Amino acid sequence: MQQLQQMSQTKKIWRRFCRNKLAVLGLVIMLFFVLVSTFAPFLTDFDPNRSNLRQRNLPPSREHLFGTDDMGRDILARTLYGGRISLSVGLVSVGISLSIGVVLGAIAGFSGGVVDTVIMRIADVFYSFPFMILAITISSIFGPSIYNTMMILGILSWPSSARLLRAEFLKLKNTDFALAAGAVGASSVRIMFRHILPNAISPLLVSATLGVASAILSEAGLSFLGLGLPPPAPSWGNMLNRARPLHILATMPWMWLPPGIAIFVIVLSINFVGDGLRDAFDPRKQ
């Protein structure tokens, strides 16, 4: 019976999500980017890191649909392969952030008292520093690397998910089903993660979706400053970094338009999906 109720609730959420046309469009665009990035080797014959100085700065043509950069590398290939890295950074960093935030937020909300105060004051310390300034500082210390970028973005982003989950736990820990689980001898860990967490997960899903967009923008910003993924590996931020010289910006738009448009479109589509999930999980929406 419980499984049937969960299936029915899932169908209701999906129907509410599908009513939001922008959210559905955003989901389609997200899936498109994931697919073209995954199957990049089948969509282009060019190596994204292979230079050909005889074909430097070529405009779009039949051979190079998006042109080439100042090292003679195919822009289309670098855009496709760059999507792998930018999307991976977004997903992995949000996964790290959620892993930390869920554990600390659940403990803070369920335990209360001194434990709650200590965890929330630690979160306040993270909030007291400008996110990007702190990310730039840490990245400059440890050096540019995709793994460092994922870890930095994930570790610096956990307070928002922890605060969100803490608020849900404070609201749900005194409900009948949580008190009943404790009355029959369920451990605190079981009550937290088996009974309360599934009922508090919907706001986290919305937050995580929007967090992916934020992480992609942050990675692009770090790479643009030379503190993200080290060259020659392609990422959308790295491609924009290569296009910083004024003569490239003014006369060679094919070098910065593809990664710039890709970042704009994927972030916009993720935001659409996040808005759709927020409405879909709202019980007041019928």
- Does the N-terminal peptide bond of residue 232 adopt cis geometry, omega within 30 degrees of 0? yes
Residues 6+ apart with CB under 8 A from 195: 177, 178, 181, 186
pLDDT single digits (tens) 129-145: 888 888 888 888 888 88
Buried b (16+ CB within 10 A) or exposed e, 113-142: eeebeebbeebeebeeeeeeeebbebbeee
Mean pLDDT calculated for residue range 135-159 = 87
What the block records as the tokens of 158 is 């956990």
151 vs 92: CA distance, rounded Å: 8
Helices 2-19 and 21-38: crossing angle in degrees, nearest 10, is 100
Mean pLDDT calculated for residue range 175-188 = 78
For residue 64, what are the CA distances in angstroms to 15, 51, 83, 116? 42, 13, 18, 57
Mean pLDDT calculated for residue range 76-94 = 89
Least confident of 2-6, 114-118, 140-144: 2-6
Q: What is 21-37+74-280's CATH topology?
A: MetI-like fold (1.10.3720)
Mean pLDDT calculated for residue range 190-211 = 80
Per-residue pLDDT band at 6 (split at 50, 70, 90): low
Q: Is the pLDDT of residue 2 over 50?
A: no
Mean pLDDT calculated for residue range 115-119 = 90
What the block records as the tokens of 109 is 């909300």
Least confident of 93-97, 262-266, 271-275: 271-275
Phi and psi at residue 51, to the nearest 5°:
-90, 150
Q: What is the pLDDT of residue 8?
A: 65
* Cβ pair 252, 57 in contact under 8 A: yes
What the block records as the tokens of 282 is 């709202």
Q: What is the pLDDT of residue 286?
A: 56
For residue 166, the Cα-to-chain-centroid distance in whole angstroms is: 21
Mean pLDDT calculated for residue range 52-70 = 88
CA-wise closest residue to 102 among 30, 196, 36? 196
